[in-house]
Structure 1
Amino acid sequence: MHITNIISQYFGKFAKTEFPSFIQKFINKVYVKSMKLDMSEFRNEKFYKSLNDLFTRELSIARQINEDENVFISPTDSLITQAGDVKGDLALQIKGMEYSFEELLTYNCANNFEKLVDGKYMNFYLSPRDYHRYHSPCDFEVKRLIHVPGKLYPVNLKYLNKQIDLFAENERVILECIHEDKLFYMVFVGALNVGQMVFEFEPKVETNTKIRDIQIYEYEDKIIKKGDCLGYFKMGSTVVMFWEKGFVELESLIGQSIKYGQKICQKN
Structure 2
Amino acid sequence: MKFWGSHRVPIFPHLYYVSKRPHGFTSFIKRLQTGTQAQASCNGGSSSSRGGSFMVPGATAATLLMLGALHARRLYDDKKVEEAREKGIESEFQPDVKASFLRLLPLCTISRCWGYLACAEIPVWLRPHVYRAWAQAFHSNLEEAALPLEGYASLREFFVRTLKEGCRPIDPDTQCLVSPVDGTVLRYGELKGAGAMIEQVKGFSYSVSSLLGASPFLPMVAEVDTDGERSEPENSSTENSKKSWWRVSLASPKCWDPLPACPVKGLFYCVIYLNPGDYHRIHSPADWNILVRRHFSGHLFPMNERATRTIRNLYIENERVVLEGLWPEGFMAIAAVGATNIGSIELLIEPELRTNQPRKKLLQAEPPEERLYEPEGVGMMLKKGDEVAAFNMGSTVVLVFQAPVVNKDSSSEFKFCIRRGDKIRVGEALGRWQDSSSN
How far apart, in 1, do the equivalents of 2:176 and 2:113 lie?
40
Corresponding residue number in structure 1 for 2:333: 185
Residue 69, structure 1, aligned to residue 174, structure 2: yes
Contact 2:329 2:404 in 1 (8 A): no
1:158-177 correspondence runs (5 A): 158-177=306-325
Deviations 1:86-133 (A, max 9, x none): 2321011233331111211123x1562516716211001000010000
Partner residue of 2:387 out of 217, 229, 234: 229
Partner residue of 1:92 out of 188, 199, 211: 199
Q: Which moved further from structure 2: 205-214 or 122-131?
A: 205-214
How far apart, in 1, do the equivalents of 2:370 and 2:346 lie?
15
> Unaligned stretches of 5+ in structure 1?
none
Contact 2:170 2:384 in 1 (8 A): no
Runs (4 or more) in structure 1 with deviation over 6 Å come to none
Contact 1:2 1:151 in 2 (8 A): no
Q: What's the secondary structure of 2:186's corresponding residue?
A: strand
How far apart, in 2, do the equivalents of 1:135 and 1:122 lie?
15
Partner residue of 2:420 out of 237, 242, 254: 254
How far apart, in 2, do the equivalents of 1:37 and 1:252 lie?
22
Deviation at 1:6, TM superposition (A): 1.0
Corresponding residue number in structure 2 for 1:55: 159
Q: What's the secondary structure of 2:220's corresponding residue?
A: helix
Corresponding residue number in structure 2 for 1:122: 270
Deviation at 1:68, TM superposition (A): 1.0
Corresponding residue number in structure 1 for 2:401: 243
Corresponding residue number in structure 2 for 1:153: 301
Q: Please give the root-mean-square deviation of Cα atoms over the aligned residues, in Å.
A: 2.1
How far apart, in 1, do the equivalents of 2:325 and 2:416 lie?
18
Contact 2:295 2:369 in 1 (8 A): yes
Corresponding residue number in structure 1 for 2:291: 143
Paired AA for residue 239 in structure 1: V
Deviations 1:204-250 (A, max 9, x none): 21111125662111123310111001121000000001123756432
Q: What's the secondary structure of 2:125's corresponding residue?
A: helix
How far apart, in 1, do the equivalents of 2:389 and 2:307 lie?
25
Residue 216, structure 1, aligned to residue 370, structure 2: yes
Structure of higher RCO (CA pairs closer than 8 Å, 6+ residues apart): 1
How far apart, in 1, do the equivalents of 2:219 and 2:315 lie?
17
Corresponding residue number in structure 1 for 2:19: none
TM-score, L = length of structure 2: 0.57
> Unaligned stretches of 5+ in structure 2?
1-103, 222-261, 406-413, 435-439
Deviations 1:31-69 (A, max 9, x none): 122222111211343321100111001011322110111
Corresponding residue number in structure 2 for 1:200: 348
Residue 102, structure 1, aligned to residue 205, structure 2: no
Deviation at 1:82, TM superposition (A): 0.6
Contact 1:18 1:24 in 2 (8 A): no
Rg comparison, structure with higher value:
2
How far apart, in 2, do the equivalents of 1:223 and 1:65 lie?
17
Contact 1:82 1:95 in 2 (8 A): no
Deviations 1:157-216 (A, max 9, x none): 111111111000000011112012610111100011114111101112111112566211
How far apart, in 2, do the equivalents of 1:196 and 1:161 lie?
24
Paired AA for residue 57 in structure 1: R
How far apart, in 2, do the equivalents of 1:58 and 1:183 lie?
29
Paired AA for residue 17 in structure 1: A
Contact 1:85 1:91 in 2 (8 A): no
How far apart, in 2, do the equivalents of 1:188 and 1:68 lie?
25
Contact 1:72 1:138 in 2 (8 A): yes
Residue 4, structure 1, aligned to residue 110, structure 2: no
Corresponding residue number in structure 2 for 1:35: 138
